Amino acid sequence: MSIERRRTDFVAAQESESAIEDPNESWALSYIDLLLLMVTLFVLLLSFQRQEAKQLKAEQRQQTQQLLSEQQNQQQNQQQNRPEPALQVPSQPAFLDQSYLSDLKGKVSVVEEGNVIKLAMSDSILFLPADAALSLTGEQLLDEIALMLKQRPWHILVEGHTDNQAISTPRYLSNWELSSARATSVTRYLISRGIKPQRLSAIGYADTRPLVSNKTEQGRGKNRRVALVLRAIE
């Protein structure tokens, strides 16, 4: 009986120990499950973040493409709406109003040469003899021309020309000084009448570019002149 009782007690003790260990094993399994859940959650969060980053980059790329497309459209619209550049050489009626044209007959010769228009005026109308000072009739004529010059954005080259008769005075030692002084005098007067200085330049050619022969007084009179060479500003 004693041996049987001991065996029974031993078996009962082992069963009691196994009953005590079961709660510990259950808690360990629950902890491992919790860790697995947390790891899974972190993986899901990381994947969501990567997906959001990719989506954000895609949206930024799309916005950049839209901005570039809008800029290109704006540039194309500006180019389409940009007015066509003015012709280098407008016709004379486009430059000379008929009201002025009738007043200038006999005072100014209008010549179209290639890419320019020349307005030539005799020295007898503009200046006192052998001088670069403007006469009253010269100032009146330049007043009328200045009104026309304001209508178009021309670059204006003022050319001074003389005949081949030698000149030597205390003020003008040769025709070079005289032609340059006359061109400068006309230029200053046009500036005083509102023509921008940036549009003007002056040069004296003396007798190097005659229109006709200097053998006669009539020919020399035609060669003594001031010409306004008009060229469209690009």
Asked if 184 contacts 203 with a C-beta cutoff of 8 angstroms, the reply is no
- Beginning with the edge strand found earlier in the chain, give each strand of the sheet holding 200-206 in spatial order: 108-113, 116-122, 225-232, 154-161, 200-206
For residue 205, count other CB atoms closer than 10 A to its CB.
17
Asked if 221 contacts 124 with a C-beta cutoff of 8 angstroms, the reply is yes
pLDDT at 29 over 70: no
pLDDT at 164 over 50: yes
Secondary structure of 123-166 as H, E, C letters: HHHHECCCCCCECHHHHHHHHHHHHHHCCCCEEEEEEEECCCCC
Q: How far is CA 199 from CA 49, 183, 222, in A?
A: 66, 14, 27
234 Cβ neighbours under 8 A, 6+ residues apart: 85, 88
Average pLDDT for 203-210: 96
pLDDT at 165 over 90: yes
Higher pLDDT, 57 or 91: 57
Which amino acid would we find at residue 82? R
Average pLDDT, the chain: 79
Asked if 150 contacts 202 with a C-beta cutoff of 8 angstroms, the reply is no
pLDDT at 55 over 70: yes
Cα-Cα-Cα-Cα dihedral of 49, 52, 58, 62, to 10°?
-140
Beta bridge partners, 231, equal 155
For residue 106, count other CB atoms closer than 10 A to its CB.
8
* Per-residue pLDDT, 221: 92
Name the token pair of 131.
């001088």
Higher pLDDT, 45 or 23: 45
Q: Which fold has domain 92-232?
A: 60s Ribosomal Protein L30; Chain: A; (3.30.1330)
* Per-residue pLDDT, 16: 56
Beta bridge partners, 178, equal none
DSSP letter, residue 133? S
143 pLDDT band, cuts 50/70/90, is: very high
pLDDT digit string (tens) for 79-109? 666 554 443 444 444 445 555 556 677 789 8
Q: What percent of the chain has pLDDT over 90?
A: 40
Beta bridge partners, 229, equal 118, 157
Average pLDDT for 37-43: 80
pLDDT at 18 over 80: no
pTM of the model: 0.58
In the chain, where are the structural domains located?
1-82, 92-232
